Each structure stands twice: as structure tokens, then as C-alpha cells.
Structure 1
Amino acid sequence: MFLLSTFYVISYIDRVIPSLLVAPLKDGFDISDFEFGLLFGGAFAVFYGLLGLPIARAVDRGNRKRLIFAGVVIWSACTFASGLATGFWMLVMMRIGLAVGEAVLSPAAYSMIGDLFPPERRSLPSAIYAAAGNMGTYGAYIAGAGIFAAVSTPPAASFFDLNGLDTWQIVFFIVGLPGILVALIFLATTVEPGRSTDAGETSKDLHAAARFFTKRIRLFGGLFIGASFITVIIFAYGAWAPEFLHRTFGWSIEKAGLSYGATGVIASALGTLFFSRLSEALTRSGRRDGLVISAIAASTLGCSSACLAALMPSATLSVAAMGVMIFALSGCSNVIVISNQFTVPSHFRATAIAIMFMCTILIGLGVGPPLVAWLAEAFFAGPQGIGPALALVSIGMLAPSVGCLLSARKVYTTEADEPVTSSPRGPNSF
């Protein structure tokens, strides 16, 4: 669990670090905000989303430990190589390689977690893993701000200038190395867990998986598409929050990244664990739809807070509202991921995670960052329009996300595992 969580932190750092490099990347490659949005979102989203499903099928059949190792090495190497890009399209290719490597991790990790813990104990380790990813998402801004500040100091800057290196190149070099080192430790110290078996679902071929999910299209469509609308906001802020604070309130990129990152690390961890425990408490009290009810409440709070964050009159109030947004939306995303542990048999679980991530990445990451940039440029007077564009996108996601979750609620109550209303007392009890 520790190593899997560490990989998740590293993956998000490598994924979101360009959001702190908007200005140097725009200057170095002569691109617009919209093109940056496509680099941050579209280039990654299309390949992560489309390759996720075939990779997940390989995970359901193959050695998850070796697949994770290969994926980590690929994405870390592409992150490092991004610092060597000599043109915009080369940077796009490295972004695609990052997507290919990262597409392996979560389907394999959630599949392993499902086999490491019994059903009544899967919520907490799943929440811990998800919290690690959320902390990595926002920890990237802290790490990136620190690295950016360090390499920008006069002695370091002079050294890099003499060697013909720009700040953005050094940042990519530094964040690309840790993944390879941890991957070697993972390969040397872990073993592949045995797979659990599920009565009545013995076939492991693609046709069986297709039949399983097609028969439950309302359940998984509602949950996965609902999660996708939420992630439009998450990725929109992920791409533009530091730049929004810089352009609107005059904060330096270092201060903006550090403030957003520190707020996000705390809020995402608290939100992920809080809504996981809330859904578990509701389920144990007899509400079989407790998990979906928790997701609906979190979605409503998160979308509203995201809209307010972009319209606040001061940077401090804006960051505070972002904290509430992150608290709620992180919790919402996590409980929807956890739902797969209770509605999907073991040998389809990695496929379910891949389908969900395909939806959330293609819609959330593929649409969110470029949509905000396009709205800002087209309707809100260019660069200063990032705030109104964020507000419009955030409030626009409220109705469709809640509607999708409500459509899945009744089906979930019949498909989910029977709730555990009491726990046996013993050495493994809480």
C-alpha cells in the first residue's frame, strides 16, 4: 500500500507540473492559452482514456506487479525527456508517453487492493490510495513551486544559463527521476497477490466483461459520467488555478502554487477520508444507497464552492473557497471509485476502473482545461477572463453531475454488496 500510494503521488506530480510552467512554456514554444490547454488536457486525455481499457484487460489477466513497474518507468522517462523537447509537438509526444505509462497504475493498483483486503475492509485502503493521489495532485504545486524557486535563484539560474538550460527544463528533469528509483524498490520488494474468485463469474474474456457492464449501463453510466462532470472542474482548476491567482491578484507563480498546493493537500486528504467514512456510516446504518447519497452531497457543495472561488474579491477568500471545493470534489470522486469494490467482481474490477478513468479523463481532462481557455479568450476579454470562465464551467457542471448520480442511485441499491451492519470482535476489528 505504501509503494502503490507513493506511485500515485509521483504520477500526479508528473501529470500536473506543467500548470506551474504556463508562462515559460508559452514563451519557449510560442503557444496560446488554448494550445496550452490542449497540451495539458487533450494530448494526455485521449491516449490515457483510449488505452486504459485494453491495458486494464491485460491487468485482469497478467502480472500486475510487472505491469506497474513498466508503466512507472515509461511515464517517468517521458517526464524527464520533456525537458529535452525542442518543439511543441515533441512536448506533445512526451505528454502522450506519460499518459500511456500512467494508464497502467490505477487499474492495477485497485485490482491488487481488492485482493489484499476482504470486502468489509476495502473502503479504508482504497480511500488511503485515493488520498495519496489527491495529495500528489496538490503536492505537485508545492514541489513545483519549491523547485521553480530554487532553480530561479541567481546562483542556480546563472549555472543553468551557462549550460544553455531553461528553468522549465530543469523542473522536468528533477520531477522525472524519483519514479524510476521507487519502481526499482517496488520490483525488488513486492510480490503479486493471489486473485480472489467470484461465484457465477468465471469467464474472463472481453465479451463477458462487455455483457456485465452493458447489463448495468444505468448504474455505471450514471456513476462514471457523473464523476466525469465533476472532474471537468477538478482538471480545469488543476490547469489554471495558479495562473488565475497570478493574473487576477498579482501573486507570483511560486506563491500561487504553494498556496493552492498546501490548501489542496490538506483539503483533499480530509475530504477523501471524510466522505469515505460518511458513506460507510450510512451504509452500516442500513442505507444501501449511502455511498451515492454521499457523492451527491459532495458534488453539490463542490460545484457551488468552485463557482464562488473564481468570483471572490480577494486572493485569500478565493483560496479558501478552493479549499472547500477540493474537500468536496475529492470526496465525491473517491466514493464513486470505491463503489466499484462493491458492484464489480474481482476479475472485472480493473476493467471497471479503466472505464471510469476513460470517462473522467476524456471528459474531465480533455474538456476542462481547453474549455476554460476558449471561454476566456472568446467571451471574457482574454487572459483576465480565466476567473469568469472557471465560474461558468463550475456552475454548469452541477445539474448534470447530480442528475447522473440520482439516476444511478436506485440501481446501486440492488447491485451493491449487502451492507455490513456489525463487525465481529477480534484482532482485525476496528
Structure 2
Amino acid sequence: MSVDAERPAAKSWYPWYVTGVLMVAYILSFLDRQILYLMVEPIKADLAISDFQFALLTGGAFGIFYTLMGLPIGWMADRYNRKNLIAVGITLWSVMTALCGLANSYAHLFLARIGVGVGEATLSPSAYSMLSDSFDKKRLPRAMSIYTFGLFIGAGLAMIIGGEVIAAVKASPDLELPLFGAMRSWHMVFIVVGLPGLAVALWVETLKEPARTGMVKQPPKTAGHFPFADVFAFIGENKLMSLSLFIGPAFFSVLAYSDSWYPELFIRIWGWNVEESGRINGVSSLIAGPIGLLFAGWLSSRWLAAGRTDACLRLTALGAVGIMIPAIAMPLMPTAGSMAFMLFPFKFFIGFTPVLIPSAIQMVAPNHLRAQLGAVFLFAVGIIGVSMGPILPAFLSDFVFSGDRALPHALATAAAVIGPVTFILLWVGMKQYRQRYQEMTVAESRQ
């Protein structure tokens, strides 16, 4: 019997319901993650920090711990109840987001952002594994694209609603709390967006844990405990493919996460207020991002059905070329309107990697390594992308370029360097990926 035959029937509604709930959790995670980017200037002013120090709140405090914790959490997701793991993670990051609203020093805010990163690290490795056990290979990219909707909806809502919340809170007087002192507008924003996550954690807890499918027989020494050494063995046996599945997307994400500076770019270069900048950045995320990920999921599914087994990886490589062009051009546009227009193709191509690469990994990974290899993907994206995406432009802006145009020049330069490297890294493992896909198909057909 084939592995796909073990999964829920194509007309079953429950796997799609689970996908929707996981998408809501992903929306919440990006809302909590992205809201910080609208509050650059007030946080810098109140805590007396530089652009580089601010970038460390996202690329350092959040990004590094988000990725480091993903590895042991991925190991746990391959062994234990995944929906419970997600529910605990949502509770943690929601509480830590609210604690950001009590921060009265840079160190306090830095530590709270570490907590947000640790909590959010539970979500995607567990979700990837749950979805892979709920859908066959032809439907998996579509399910991944729906889950990944959360990225753009969360980021979009963070920009749009966040801008409105910030404006509303600014109109309120500062609060004085015992022990914590003055509560500024940005403090209140963290509390407002953080606490609703506790309700989502309870919702996730009501889901049914899907049965694990496609289990492979383990050698006697490793049966039953799935050592992490198997992950290194898998990577070592598929070096070029692993380079394309993990390092290529990580460099892609350096381009993608540079958009953390885009809200500030409109404020700093064109004098927009927070609401205006949040609105255009949010609308572009809500419109172009979902269109991009749906297009990627739809086209990759068609290519897979037609026998193009490298569809997910090939489309990601082409997407690297697509995102590089607006990433270079957007910061250098001569008017605010043309800069805003370039946000849309940029956000469109951001949608490729989060749906295509996790799908590609799940198609060639044995079941006992699915969450762990998903965590390796997130680890690479986090260490290189989530960390360096915000930090590299800030470093170039503070230490290489100078003047009023330092930030746009830094953003364009980073994209021009990273873009070609990304394409090469994604393309180099294509042949080995096709071979591994075929091996998995033959092995599964014999079960």
C-alpha cells in the first residue's frame, strides 16, 4: 500500500480545518513579530539606541533564539504530541509579547524578544509535520500555501492595524504603574496584540493529533528514539540537495527580511506618518503576498502532476531572480508612489519560499525526520535570513554609507550582492533532488 493511501481521503474536510487553525496561529505569530517594525523611532528615542541595536532586537534576540530552539523542538515534534507543543509555544510567545509592553530598558526588551522567539519556534516544525501527515504529495503544496497565508495576513495586519493602534494609543496619556514606571504608547501596543494569543492556544489544544504516516523501519540501534544524528546523515548523503533546500532559501530570506526596514524607509525618506507607512506596507502584504504563495502552490502542484518532480525547487530559484529586481530598485525609486508600487512585486515573490521549500523537504524526507528537517530549514533561514535580513542593511547604513540616503543605498546594495548568490545556491542541488524524490517514490510504493 502506498503512503499516500494512508492519509485522509481527498474529500475529508477536517485536514483543511486543521490547516485553517494553524494558519490563524501563524497569523498571530507574525502579528506579534512584525509589530515592532512600526515603532522604530519611539523605541529608539525612549531607550537611546541606534539602528544597529534596534536590528538586534529582531535579528539577534528574536532571530537567533527562534532558530536555535527550532532544532530541539523539531526533534520533540517527531516524537511527541505536536498540537500540544504548538499550544504551549503560543502561550509562551503571547505572554512574552505582553512582557515587551512592560520593558523599561533595552536589556528587558531584549530578553522579552528572546522569549517571543523561543515560543514561535514551536509552530512551523510541528505544523509542517502535521500537514505532511494530513495530505498527499499532490495536495501538500496547496495546504502549505494556505498555512503560509498566515505570514502575509499577520504581517499585513501588523502594519495596518498596528499603525491604527499606535495612533490611537498615542492619543492617550502615559500610564504610571507601580514597579514598572511610565507606560508609553509602544508599551501598550505590545500588550494589546500579545494577550489575545492565549485564546488561540486554547483553540489549538482542541485539534486532533493526526496519525503519523510513511514510517520507515529503523535499524536496531536507532529504533524507537530517532536520534538527531540521522539528520546529519541525511544531509551528508545529499550534500548538493541540502545546499539548495537549506542554504539557498536562507539567502532568499535575507532579501525577504530586509523588508523589516521598509516601513521606516517611507517615514525617514518621504516624511510619512506611522499610519500611512503601515497602511501601504500592510496592503501590499495582504494583496501581493497571498497571490504569490497561491500562485506558487498552484503552479508547483500542476508541475508535479505533470511529472516535474523538481517543481518546488525550480520555482524557488526562479523566484530568487524575481525578488532581486524589486529589492534593488524599490529603495532607489525617485518618488514615494513608485517606491510603494515596487512593494507589490517584492511581496509577490516573498510568497514562494515559505510554501515551496517546506513542501519540497517533506516530499523527500522520511517521516521520522520531517519535523527535524523542517527545523533545519527554519534554523538556516533564521541564522542567515531572519538574523541578517534586518542586520545587514542596518550595518551598512550605520558603518558604510552616510547621509540621508544611507538606508536606501544599504538596502539596494545588500540585494544586489545576495540575489545572484541565492539563485546559484538554489539551482546547484536540482539534479540530486530529482534523484532523491525518485528513490522515495520507489521506497514508498513497496510499503
TM-score tier after normalising by the smaller chain length: over 0.9
CA deviation string 1:21-53 (max 9, x = no partner): 101110111000110011121111211111111
Among 243, 250, 253, the alignment partner of 1:231 is: 253
Identity %: 34
2:353: which partner in 1? 332
Among 388, 401, 407, the alignment partner of 1:380 is: 401
TM-score (norm 2): 0.89
* Structure 1 position 131, deviation (Å): 1.9
**Pair 1:208 & 2:230 matched:** yes
1:245: which partner in 2? 266
Among 23, 46, 62, the alignment partner of 1:44 is: 62
* Structure 1 position 169, deviation (Å): 0.5
* Structure 1 position 382, deviation (Å): 4.7
Bigger mean CA offset, 358-367 vs 409-418: 409-418
Q: Do the aligned partners of residues 79 and 417 (structure 1) sit closer, same or farther apart at CA in structure 2, a change above 3 Å counting?
A: farther
1:424: which partner in 2? none
* Structure 1 position 394, deviation (Å): 1.2
What are the within-5 Å matches in structure 2 for residues 266-285 of structure 1?
266-285=287-306
CA distance in structure 1 between the partners assigned to 2:51 and 2:417 by the alignment: 21
Among 195, 215, 219, the alignment partner of 2:212 is: 195
1:345: which partner in 2? 366
1:426: which partner in 2? none
* Structure 1 position 200, deviation (Å): 4.7
Is 1:40–1:369's contact at 8 Å kept on the other side of the alignment?
A: yes
Among 244, 255, 258, the alignment partner of 1:222 is: 244
1:118: which partner in 2? 136
* Structure 1 position 201, deviation (Å): 5.2
2:119: which partner in 1? 101
**Pair 1:410 & 2:431 matched:** yes
**Pair 1:78 & 2:96 matched:** yes
Amino acid at match of 2:210: P
**Pair 1:59 & 2:77 matched:** yes
**Pair 1:10 & 2:21 matched:** no
* Structure 1 position 137, deviation (Å): 2.2
**Pair 1:32 & 2:50 matched:** yes
1:423: which partner in 2? none
Amino acid at match of 1:195: R
RMSD of aligned Cα (Å): 1.8
Is 2:270–2:336's contact at 8 Å kept on the other side of the alignment?
A: yes
CA distance in structure 2 between the partners assigned to 1:289 and 1:192 by the alignment: 30
Amino acid at match of 2:140: R
What are the within-5 Å matches in structure 2 for residues 110-149 of structure 1?
110-149=128-167
Is 1:75–1:97's contact at 8 Å kept on the other side of the alignment?
A: yes
Among 281, 289, 294, the alignment partner of 2:315 is: 294
Is 1:146–1:254's contact at 8 Å kept on the other side of the alignment?
A: yes
Give ranges in structure 2 of 5+ residues lacking alignment: 1-18, 442-447
Amino acid at match of 1:271: G
CA distance in structure 2 between the partners assigned to 1:211 and 1:262 by the alignment: 43
CA distance in structure 1 between the partners assigned to 2:301 and 2:209 by the alignment: 28
Number of residue-to-residue matches in the alignment: 414
Bigger mean CA offset, 170-179 vs 210-219: 210-219
Is 2:27–2:150's contact at 8 Å kept on the other side of the alignment?
A: yes
CA distance in structure 1 between the partners assigned to 2:55 and 2:405 by the alignment: 16
The structure whose residues are more often helix, as a share, is 1
CA distance in structure 2 between the partners assigned to 1:351 and 1:97 by the alignment: 21
Give ranges in structure 1 of 5+ residues lacking alignment: 421-430
CA deviation string 1:273-330 (max 9, x = no partner): 1012112222222322222221111110101111111111111211211210110122
